[in-house]
Amino acid sequence: MKNLLFALLLLIPAIGFAQNTAPRISNSEKFVEEPGRILEKEMSTMGVIPVKYNLQKQELNVNALVMKDLLTSKKSSCLVFELIKKTKYAYVDPDEISDILNMFKLMDEQYIGTTKPNYTELVYNTRGGTEIGCFFDQGRWIVFIRLDKNDKNTIIEINTDDLITLRSYILRVDNVVNSAK
């Protein structure tokens, strides 16, 4: 009996841990994955930002994706970050775009250009598991997008000088997404 109780006590944390590691998915991805749909997908690139990925120069497409179920006429749309050479994507739901725009504005106006005595970070997590933020370390600010919060190999570094341009591309996506409703 003691052995059974001991075994159960060992299993309970493992079960809880397994439940917490399930991949997060955006509402836009749920829309795509729902069976029985005939989808029309239109992807428009709003702009391209030079980035660093694994210390190598890459490019990040900032896209608007508009989808329509041709059977029911239901629509969904989202912001898509696309790392071009590695074909890695992150989908951000429309209701999160204004939060991201506010995050970048806050970064630009109150963080970038300042100094901090300690390691400091500012982070926004999307419903789908994308992490967007900046951190101050070793005397400089680094802006990043982690396409998949659970995968350290999906971190993209963005030059702070490109922050305004990135915001303008995301604002264009927001306009496309809102007009597609």
Predicted confidence (pLDDT) per residue in 147-164, tens digit: 988 888 889 999 999 999
Which domains are seen in the chain, by residue range?
24-179 (3.30.2450)
Mean pLDDT of 141-152: 90
Q: How far is the C-alpha of 157 from the C-alpha of 134, rounded, in Å? A: 9
Predicted confidence (pLDDT) per residue in 83-126, tens digit: 987 778 999 999 999 999 999 999 999 999 999 999 999 999 99
Q: What is the pLDDT of residue 151?
A: 84
| Reported pTM | 0.83
Q: How far is the C-alpha of 91 from the C-alpha of 106, rounded, in Å? A: 22
